[in-house]
Amino acid sequence: MNESHTGLLLLLLALLIILSAFFSSSETSMMSLNRYRLKHMSKEGHRAAKRASRLLERPDRLLGTILVGNNIVNILAASIATVVAVELWGEAGIAIATMLLTVVILIFGEITPKTLAALRPELIAFPASAVLALLQRLLYPVVWVCSAMSNMLLRLIGVNPNDKDGDQLTTEELRTVVREAGLGITRSRQNMLLGILDLEKMTVNDIMIPRNEAVGIDLEDSMTVINQQLRSCHYTRLPVYHGDINNITGLVHMRSIARLLSRGELTKEALIGACKEPYFIPESTPLHTQLFNFQKQKRRIAIVVDEYGDVIGLVTLEDILEEIVGEFTTDMLIPSQDIHPQEDGTYVIDGSAAIRDINRHLHWKLPADGPKTLNGLITEQLESIPETSVCLTTGAYRMEILQTKDNMVKSVRVWDRARDQVPVPADTSAPADDAGNPS
């Protein structure tokens, strides 16, 4: 064999190795494309994205095209390398060619191009899709036969080749995608998207205003008291009831009585006449369902009832929206009313404060899957109405009960033990044991 012929074979071998790298990188890049980004780019009119999407609609044919081409290239490369090696080194060239070609293919034809394709899939896949589309037409008979045989084997083991359920995302998977979006989505938008997803896991009972905190108009009060209450009220919609909120008459909008109120002509009869029929909902209603119900019923406030029909609280459209977008500016006074920071790093918190509000404002992780208020959490753990100065531990949080009244915990001093090393008060009447429970 002359030198020119050997040089031509080596040149052809180098070309085959480049083609092997092309097929290897094409396979990895096409399979690594972000399907959702690809769909978005296709809708935006990106030609290469559309072409790649069409190829990925039939992954069996796409992989068949790539693997047929890759195998042809690798077999030819092995044959040429063997011929050249035998010519140069005799029979020992067969072993030498096998070892050298294996190393070259692994480094230049597999590992390097596939790593690049995995890191930059669009950079490789979009240009390669044009070549793959052409090869798929040229090799169609071979690819069709190979794909048909492969699909038949898949069906024998119970796998449907046309099943595309893998492209569907569960709620938890979508939540992970949002969290891992990085700089693609701002923190505020991530919180909003996660808030929408969390609506499915929450009920109106989780965010309602308890009946003992609900502001309403008692028709048994005098008109002087009612007028004063209406003039100082910060809410636009109020429940109207007789004596007890269970005897609710309706819901009044301040706009309906504003003129009479400003003229001093408001009477109980006019107040009752301005009321709209109350809208009752069960406490177990999921938040995402109630959001649609508010839209369907054209309502903004609902009366929450338990399984016995007793009123247990109120929920508004704004309460649900706050779970998505965060608290509105008008509600920013709530933390100062229920949560009082102290100079030593502790917080004095009202027992009626909602655990969800505490966690939100202080970025804590108090258990919120049981009782809804701090008082409920403490009484559930102690299994009794606690005495003043009793201490207990809940997870990473230490609590000292400062005041109890009317069978309720009124005020509690709380601190995060992991962040603020505050010593346990020495004047506790019921010291805590090692587990944090009162002895």
Q: Give me the residue spans of the domains in the chain.
A: 2-157, 170-195, 202-325, 339-419
The overall pTM is greater than 0.75? no
Per-residue model confidence as pLDDT tens digits over 53-99:
999 988 888 988 999 999 999 999 999 988 888 888 888 878 888 89
Q: What is the pLDDT of residue 50?
A: 92
Per-residue exposure over 199-227, b if at least 16 CB sit within 10 Å of its own CB, e if not: beebbbbbbbbebeebebbbbeeeeeebe
Q: What is the pLDDT of residue 414?
A: 92
Per-residue model confidence as pLDDT tens digits over 170-187:
777 777 777 776 656 777
* Residue range 226-255: mean pLDDT, rounded: 91
Q: What is the pLDDT of residue 438?
A: 42
- 305: pLDDT strictly greater than 50: yes
Residue 41, classified by CB atoms within 10 Å of its CB into exposed (0-12), middle (13-18) or buried (19+), is buried
Give residue 124's identity as a one-letter amino acid code: I
Per-residue model confidence as pLDDT tens digits over 355-384:
888 887 888 888 877 788 888 899 888 888
Average pLDDT over the chain, rounded to an integer: 84
Of 166-170, 188-192, 421-425, the range with the lowest mean pLDDT is: 421-425
Q: Closest Cα partner for 55 from 36, 72, 30, 21?
A: 30
Q: What is the pLDDT of residue 193?
A: 82
* Residue range 401-418: mean pLDDT, rounded: 86
Residue 272, classified by CB atoms within 10 Å of its CB into exposed (0-12), middle (13-18) or buried (19+), is middle
Residue 165: pLDDT band by 50, 70, 90 thresholds? Answer: low
Choose between 3 and 111: higher pLDDT.
111
- 331: pLDDT strictly greater than 80: no
For the domain spanning 339-419, the CATH number is 3.30.465.10
Q: What is the pLDDT of residue 34?
A: 85
Residue 116: pLDDT band by 50, 70, 90 thresholds? Answer: very high
CA atoms of 422 and 411, how far apart (whole Å): 18
What percentage of the chain reaches a pLDDT higher than 90? 34
Topology adopted by domain 202-325? CBS-domain (3.10.580)
Q: What is the pLDDT of residue 437?
A: 43
